[in-house]
Amino acid sequence: MKKMDILQAPFVREMVEVTTNLYRLGWDERNGGNISYLLKKEEILPFLDPNEVLRTIPMIFDGSKLAGKYFIVTGSGKYFKNVSAAPTDNLGVVRVSDDGKGVELLWGLTNDAVPTSELPSHFMSHIARLEVDPENRVIMHNHASHLLAMSFTHNLDEKAFTRTLWQMCTECLVVFPEGIGVLPWLVPGTNEIGKATAAKMKETRLVLWPQHGIYGAGKDMDEVFGLIETAEKAAEVYTYVCAQGGIKQTISDENLWTLADAFGVIPKEGYLEER
Ligand code: 13P
Ligand code: ZN
């Protein structure tokens, strides 16, 4: 059966749209940032023949828990700025090989391009998130400016960092009641940072890489984009608050408890003063 034009596939359109938005926001300079999006086989079948493997690309970690799964990913060294003009050069659809030692390329990543160098962090995070939420499909990394700046000026204790974000915008507690995970500074693209990110992802959908950027996870593109956008907005407000001379009043823990009750969310245990 004749396949449809993959450039019209909803998952390609979504990747184009989100990378364009992320670039517009200034969070993905040069090749900064990467996205992986778990696809269902039935989503790719109208566009691709799963038996037509263009090439196999080795991975430096064990992806066997994702064997047979399909993803659309951003390419390594590719600029989000360029994705909309040339999706085939900058994006790729891959399937994790049966032995978990590589990915089979089905579309895109032309001229021998390879998936993002952060594939260990992405795939290990997918494995971690799928264990707690079978609906999880998207992992997104970018260099959100104010969160990145805040990783220089704010205490990196997870509870302290989370509490400040919750206090900066009323919506924050509702959007990420589990808080934000914070790693130590680590070398990007390694299995070590992949394992550390995935370990945090078991508890929180947001993980800060100090002096580097942010990771987010969720069931769809809107959820992850919205999650990062909300935390980044709080970090932006924090930047203004500091520039305006510091906090004179904020949202009290009592208010945060009332908010949690009103929206039916459970704040991370121990992060708010007991009522
Ligand atoms: P890639 O171009 O390999 O995706 O790397 C970008 C990045 O942000 C590394 O952390
Ligand atoms: Zn990065």
On whether both 101 and 196 belong to a single domain, the answer is no
The whole-number pLDDT of residue 29 equals 98
Rounded (10°) angle between helices 10-24 and 221-243: 10
The last residue of a domain, from among 94, 117, 140: 117
On whether both 129 and 251 belong to a single domain, the answer is yes
The position carrying tokens 């998207």 is: 138
Q: Which residues form ligand 1's pocket by a CB distance below 6 Å? A: 31-34, 74, 76-77, 116-118, 141, 188
On whether both 237 and 270 belong to a single domain, the answer is yes
The catalytic residues are: 118
The last residue of a domain, from among 117, 141, 163: 117
On whether both 53 and 140 belong to a single domain, the answer is no
On whether both 270 and 151 belong to a single domain, the answer is yes
On whether both 134 and 205 belong to a single domain, the answer is yes
pTM to 2 decimals? 0.98
Q: What value does the mean pLDDT of the chain take?
A: 98
Say which ligand is closest to the CA of 188.
1
- The distance in angstroms from the start CA to the end CA of the chain is 63
Residue 143 neighbours by CB distance under 10 Å: 18
Residues spanned by the domain of 81 = 1-117
Q: How far is CA 168 from CA 56, 64, 236, in A?
A: 46, 41, 9
On whether both 104 and 126 belong to a single domain, the answer is no
CA of 214 to the centre of ligand 2 (A): 8
The whole-number pLDDT of residue 188 equals 98
Beta strands (DSSP E) in 75-223 are 91-96, 102-108, 138-142, 181-182, 206-209, 213-218
On whether both 153 and 141 belong to a single domain, the answer is yes
pLDDT in tens, 47-99: 999 999 999 999 999 999 999 999 999 999 999 999 999 999 999 999 999 99
pLDDT in tens, 222-252: 999 999 999 999 999 999 999 999 999 999 9
Please give the DSSP secondary-structure letter assigned to residue 53.
Answer: -
On whether both 127 and 260 belong to a single domain, the answer is yes
Whether pLDDT at 1 is above 90: no
On whether both 125 and 188 belong to a single domain, the answer is yes
Instruction: Tell me if 59 sits within 8 A of 101, measured CB to CB.
Output: yes
DSSP string, 68-110: T-EEEEEBTT--GGGTTT-HHHHEEEEEE-TTSSEEEEEEE-T
CA of 259 to the centre of ligand 2 (A): 34
| CATH code for the domain of 96 | 3.40.225.10
On whether both 69 and 146 belong to a single domain, the answer is no
The whole-number pLDDT of residue 253 equals 98
Q: Which atom of ligand 1 is nearest to the CA of 188?
A: 10
The last residue of a domain, from among 88, 117, 146: 117
The whole-number pLDDT of residue 103 equals 98
- The phi, psi pair for 185, rounded to 5°, reads -65, 130
Q: Which atom of ligand 1 is nearest to the CA of 143?
A: 8
On whether both 8 and 61 belong to a single domain, the answer is yes
pLDDT in tens, 141-171: 999 999 999 999 999 999 999 999 999 999 9
- The tally of domains found in the chain comes to 2
